[in-house]
Amino acid sequence: MHAKPVVRQATASDAPAVQAIMNAIPWIAESAKTEEGFERTKSACGRGEVWIVEDNSVIASTMTLTKDSLAASCGYKIWLIRLIATIETARRKGHARRLIHKAKEIVDDGALTAHVQNDDSSALVSSEGFVLVEGQADAAGYPLYEWTRNAS
């Protein structure tokens, strides 16, 4: 029987599977795919910043979610989805959407943001009620999208 996909926080032992998902994405910087990059992924898992969808014992999708500590020191709750990705064979099954729902739960009444890097992720965040924040592209030119509970 096919059990329901589970969303859970990754642990350091999930880091190889998380890294494998990242390594399969062509546009991710080569520096992120090195041994050092893997150590960073493992540390992020250890810090509880990485969430995954496990479907029938396979880690199918991953999301790295961090809180902006500078904004937090000024009393603002702003969270950033640094990466969201699903293995190619498990796309369009709602896994990334499951992770975004988890992020919304964590962020609660704060702001959830993401720099959108392509049409697929643009379609994903738009379908989840994110809106474009004008003039807030990152250094690579990727536009910033934002979701807040009250606005949706």
What is the edge-to-edge ordering of all strands in the sheet holding 6-9?
A: 6-9, 50-55, 58-67, 78-86, 111-115, 144-148, 131-133
Instruction: Pick the binder of ligand COA from 93, 131, 132, 137 (CB under 6 A).
Output: 93
Report the nearest approach of ligand COA to the CB of residue 74 (Å).
26
Return the closest-CA partner of residue 55 out of 93, 107, 13: 93
Question: Any contact of residue 9 with ligand COA (CB under 6 A)?
Answer: no
Q: Give the single-character DSSP code of 4.
A: P
Is the Cβ of residue 73 or residue 92 nearer to ligand COA in the bound state?
92
Among 19, 61, 113, 148, the residue binding ligand COA under the rule CB under 6 A is: 61
Which of 19, 41, 117, 148 touches ligand COA by CB under 6 A?
A: 117
By CB under 6 A, name the one of 52, 78, 103, 124 that touches ligand COA: 124
Please state, in angstroms and rounded to a whole number, the distance separating the CA atoms of residues 53 and 61: 5
**Residue 42 lies near ligand COA (rule: CB under 6 A):** no
Q: What are phi and psi of 102, to 5 degrees?
A: -65, -45
Residue given tokens 């029938």 in the structure block: 56
Positions touching ligand COA (CB under 6 A) are 25, 61, 83-86, 91-97, 117-118, 120-121, 123-124, 127
